[in-house]
Amino acid sequence: MAAIAGVNYYWEAPAVRNTNKQIEIINDAVDSGANALLVAADDPKLISAAIEDAKAKSVKVIYVDSPAFEEAITTLTTDNYEAGILAGKTMISLLEGKGIREGQIGIINLSQKANTRLREAGFRDTLAQDGRFTILETIYTENDILAVTQLAAERMINENPGLVALLGTSEGTSLGVGNANKENNNKFVAVGFDKTDDMVKLLNEGSLSAIINQNPYTMGYLGMAQAIAAILGRDTGPSYINTGVSVIEPQ
């Protein structure tokens, strides 16, 4: 999209999730003369001041995946509550397919991410409405690092002999769930979020039972279109665009 429109596009992100580094990147982009920013907010509250400063310098801001609290021209993201509902329905279907109609379900989530909290809420509401399974108290991790999330999933497994299934609400927590399941001979139904090569490998190995997949290409393509339209002073359309989710299961 950028190449077609003749726009210079630069991509930069922290090597690992780091809000302070993201703020630094945003500030550097503004100081370098950026006309527009496509931002996936790591911490919506903490980066909002940097976004406000960028807007004060007439920089056009588009959110993709996760918005900050400061208003932008448009936000392209998943309806995370609805995605959680889909994860819950998928979990129930997978359990029924194995003849499992009761037991405990564990969730590994991130403590500081609003989008994964919404996924958890949709998932919990769906399972509560079904009524047959016990949803355990969530284990929250401070970050998405595999070593941390896998330990959390292993703790969930070791402390709950009635466990039948696990949910990871992000890429990192899902990888932790999948690897912990693999260490336990793929004993559990495991559902995760976000399609990556490592996630697909776990899916094909039977360590993940399904992946709830967002549409990052759509976010990026439409986000760039919105940014270019904003720079050129053209209509940018709605302030919120739901880019949807789908379920990936082993072939």
Confidence check: pLDDT of 178 > 60 = yes
CA distance 146 to 175: 6
Give start and end residues of each alpha helix (H) in 104-215. 114-130, 146-159, 171-183, 197-204
The residue behind tokens 């079904």 is 130
Delineate the domains of the chain, giving CATH numbers in brackets: 2-78+215-243 (3.40.50.2300), 80-213 (3.40.50.2300)
DSSP state for residue 155 in the 8-state scheme: H
Tell me phi and psi for residue 128, to 5 degrees: -65, -40
Confidence check: pLDDT of 83 > 70 = yes
Confidence check: pLDDT of 251 > 80 = no
H or E stretch covering 206: none
Contact 156, 163 (CB under 8 A): yes
CA distance 194 to 212: 6
Confidence check: pLDDT of 1 > 60 = no
Confidence check: pLDDT of 198 > 60 = yes
8-44 confidence digits (pLDDT tens): 888 888 877 788 999 999 999 999 999 999 999 988 8
Give start and end residues of each alpha helix (H) in 32-113. 48-56, 80-97
CA distance 48 to 39: 11
CA distance 174 to 201: 12
107-157 confidence digits (pLDDT tens): 999 988 888 999 999 999 999 999 999 999 999 999 889 999 999 999 999
